[in-house]
Structure 1
Amino acid sequence: MGQAQNPETDKSVNPVKIFLLISLQILLSFILFTMYYRREAPASTKADSQDDVTVIAKEPIIILVWSFPFGQRFPLNQCPQQFDGSGCLYTADRTLYSSAHAVVLFHRDVYTSKKQLPQTPRPSNQRWVWFNNESPSHCPNLAIMNNLINLTMSYRVDSDIFAPYGWIEKHNTTMHFTIPTKTKLAAWAISNWNPNSRRVKYYGELKNYLQIDMYGYGRRNLPRNRQSEILSTYKFYFAFENSIHVDYITEKLWDNALYSGCVPVVMGPPRENYERFIPRDSFIHVDDFASPQELASYLLSLDKDEEKYKQYFNWRSEYYVPPQDNPWTVSYCRVCKALKEAPPYRTIASIEKWFKD
């Protein structure tokens, strides 16, 4: 019989034991290497691909407000909830021009000379936004913008960024609108008095048949903080635009008449144009009457017929006019969404050809 082997003196090799030892050493080396790499690696290498995507997504779209319209400053980065400003950073700091994704140029502030425009070379793919709220009749030197503008923003529906003077919104439920107490017949506020304009000539005839209280232009004072309070006491308000152009429907309708609770008597683009924005039974159009005298007769008949007059408020059970406390803020807040959804980069050859068409 052979002798039993002494484990302490046995010199033979056990393959299983060797394999386990090597595997353990490899595992320990990997753990130590990983711990060291995580501790020493720079921050940029620690993030996985998903983290990299997150960082890029959080980079803000910088929108440079080249000038405050007419010098009227307004809060930046305070967009109302319905105008989502997330992901955008508005600034008036011109030193950020080179990193801005878009520059908003208000036409009335820059039209006099190209020296009013940015003078340093434009960064690649930076969009210039042309913002204008005047009609073509009061918008000089449009040619200065030739081959410079990438996006348009105005009251016109066919602008890249539609920025109207006002709008109506639908109630969540049917509402009952209380017509303000009416103690006076008709009012008109005007600051730009041009005796050769259609509206002034029309008023010159209309006043012969109708009592009209005039505000502005050296007449009655209409303080901004009491505007709605004062105008709401009138049954009718004359929302006469200073010029007639497509979609040019200003605060004369939205703020002075509708928001104040008056029935607007409008002079502007055709009735069909108004009906794109407000119900057909919410206003009276001067073009529906053969003469100022005929219009006056109709208004006087409504003054005597309370039930017929009230029909001009029926639409308010479904819609309302939101307040325009800060219209500049609302207009500029539209730029953020437009840039997120902007079409491929392109430059407009002639703003004048489009706007005066």
Structure 2
Amino acid sequence: MSCFSVFLTFKIKHFLALVTLLSLALLILNLTSFRRFSSEINAVEFDVQIPTILWWTPFTGENGVLKNCDLGDDFQASCFFTNERKLYQQTKALLFYGSSFNAWELPPRNPKRKRPLWALLHEESPRNTALLQHESALSLFNFSATFSRHSDLPLTLQHLTSLEDLVGHEFLQSWQSKVQFQKKEGLAPVVFIQSDCDTSTDRDSYVRELMKYVKVDSYGSCLQNKMLPESIRDPMSALHSDEFWRFQSKYKFSIAFENGECLDYITEKLWRPLVIGSVPIYYGSPTFQDWLPFKNSTIDVRDYKSPKELAEFILMLDSDEERYNQFLEHKRQSPERFSSELLLHMLAERKWSVGEKLWNNFETKSLVEVFECYVCQRVHENLKEGESVVKLNHYECPPPVSALTKTTLNNSFWFEQWHQGQFEAQLVKELVETGKVVTQDEFYEIVGQRMVAKRKKKK
């Protein structure tokens, strides 16, 4: 055998031995983790002082973790959080994520056992979970963390990092700069950047009409007439980048239409223009003005009879530097001067962080962590059944209305979904109360039958 063959044989044996050692190490590590998880479960099972809280709709990816909660207010306690449904019988509270709530996959009813407390987390609008727009379903929950100010843990400001962002000048362009962008780069006074072209506010119909009277640069998939620079063309990676924000800040006005009209449902569509200094042309939450730094920080679409009338106002501001800059008053004032006490109070009381404040500081908590600890606190308070119930104002979304015609979209998919949600919500409540189990197909079959019966009764 040649020296090379001997050397190669030695190397292969050495490599195989190393692989074996690594495999053994991983096995030991997995066994250790399993034993740690098992010991935590056993510890919880025999320690009634540590309640078990189950994510019925798995959300955090944690099979089991013991958390020490400290939310201030002299509250400190521990709870065991898990997504293992096999621990359901010892669970004190169930956590649900709204978008993952399935009416045909409900927790089993045990007549001999008090029903665990239910808590709902949903930062989104209910466009994909229509039943949550109705009180029959909401009343099944004891606590909520939603976009509403009336929620137990309000998430209204989830898209606003801080007050400092509202007054900051990092992205702010002067009036003179914006005028030059219009002249040299051929920019329109108004920008529209959307890729969701079918919304319950009939957004595109309004913007299409507005474009007849004022120049609008439309990027994204909806009513597109311009292409974004290639470096920020991918919305998933670019939407929150500094480059994207600087690009949008060149425009005097930004169309900011929400996907829905739920009370207090306010997203980055409003906050981003306010932060970068592009005046929002806003349509969405009927209560949005309660949260503005100043009442004239935005142009409210509802104040104008038609897109034509709105366009006339935009064109007037486009040529009037003094009046335009009045809409950027928040960039010239300190937060203490803001007119919205609600905005100041909610940010001061917020125990969770978002954006860079969360990413760059390991000591801050996410809204999910604070939600878990809030429920942990309420469990330790030994609430009695019915003592806390989620009400409609925790998630208030009226039937869909067209921004253009200002009438209910009776014949639209969105209205049909909202209407169907009423029947779904009632059926879910019945299933929880009776313990009856149905499949997905059976659930929608029952809902369909009831909707047909209701229509026949009306005739």
Contact 2:71/2:370 (8 A) holds in 1: no
Instruction: Please give the per-residue CA displacement for 1:280-310, whole angstroms capped at 9, x wherever unaligned.
Output: 1221111222321222222233333334333
Name the residue aligned to 2:205.
Answer: 201
Query: Structure 1 residue 203: deviation in Å?
Result: 0.8
> CA 1:313–1:332 in structure 2 vs 1: closer, same or farther (change >3 Å)?
farther
Identify the match of residue 122 of structure 2 among 119, 125, 132: 132
Match of 2:252 in 1: 235
1:213 corresponds in structure 2 to: 217
Which residue is equivalent to 2:370?
333
State the SS of the aligned residue for 1:275: helix
Q: Distance in 2 between matches of 1:224 and 1:318?
A: 33
* Bigger helix share: 2
Q: Which amino acid letter does the alignment assign opposite residue 55 of structure 2?
A: V
Which one of the candidate residues 110, 119, 129 is aligned to 2:101? 110
How far, CA to CA, are the matches of 1:356 and 1:91 in structure 2?
Answer: 31
Work out the CA distance in 1 between the residues paired with 2:92 and 2:390. Answer: 22
SS of match in other structure, 2:239 = helix
Unaligned runs of 5+ in 2: 1-46, 182-186, 228-232, 336-343, 348-352, 360-364, 399-459
CA offsets per residue over residues 128-181 of structure 1, 9 Å max, x none? 112234445653234784763221221111222212243474459x96635533
Distance 2:71 2:276 in 1: 24
Match of 1:300 among 284, 301, 315: 315
Distance in 2 between residues matched to 1:278 and 1:73, nearest whole Å: 36
2:279 maps to which of 256, 259, 263: 263
C-alpha deviations, 1:34-91, integer Å up to 9, x for none? xxxxxxxxxxxxxxxxxxxxxx99x66654333356xx979x9799999x99845554
Conserved 8 A contact 1:85-1:337: no
Question: How far did residue 209 of structure 1 move?
Answer: 1.7
Say if 2:266 is the partner of 1:249.
yes
Deviations 1:198-248 (A, max 9, x none): 422211210112222223336444523332532233222211122323222
Per-residue CA deviations over 1:4-24 (Å, capped at 9, x if unaligned) read: xxxxxxxxxxxxxxxxxxxxx
- Deviation larger for 239-248 or 88-97: 88-97
Aligned pair in 2 of structure 1 residues 217, 68: CA closer, same or farther (>3 Å)?
farther
1:199, 1:240 within 8 Å by CA — same for their partners in 2? yes
User: Is the CA contact (8 Å cut-off) linking 2:52 and 2:79 kept in structure 1?
Assistant: yes
Quickly say closer, same or farther: Cα 1:305–1:93, change in 2 above 3 A.
farther
CA contact (8 A) 1:168 1:277 kept: no
2 CA distance for matches of 1:245 and 1:262? 24
Q: Is the 8 A contact 2:161 2:354 kept in 1?
A: no
Aligned to 2:292: 278
Q: How does 1:139-218 map to 2 (within 5 A)?
A: 139-142=129-132, 145=137, 148-164=140-156, 165-167=158-160, 169-170=162-163, 177-181=169-173, 182=178, 183=181, 184=187, 185-194=189-198, 197-217=201-221
SS in 1 for 2:291: coil
How far is the alpha carbon of 1:96 from its aligned partner? 4.5
In the superposition, relative to structure 1, how do residues 175 and 251 fare at CA in structure 2: closer, same or farther (>3 Å)? closer
Unaligned ranges ≥5, structure 1: 1-55
The 1:341/1:353 distance shift into structure 2, 3 A limit, reads: closer
d(CA) in 2 for partners of 1:175, 1:259? 7
Distance change >3 Å, CA 314–CA 86, structure 1 → 2: farther
Distance 2:259 2:196 in 1: 8
Aligned amino acid, residue 279 of structure 2: V
Residue aligning to 1:3: none
1:274, distance to aligned residue in structure 2 (A): 1.5
Q: How many Å apart are 1:114 and its aligned residue? A: 2.8
What's the secondary structure of 1:162's corresponding residue?
coil
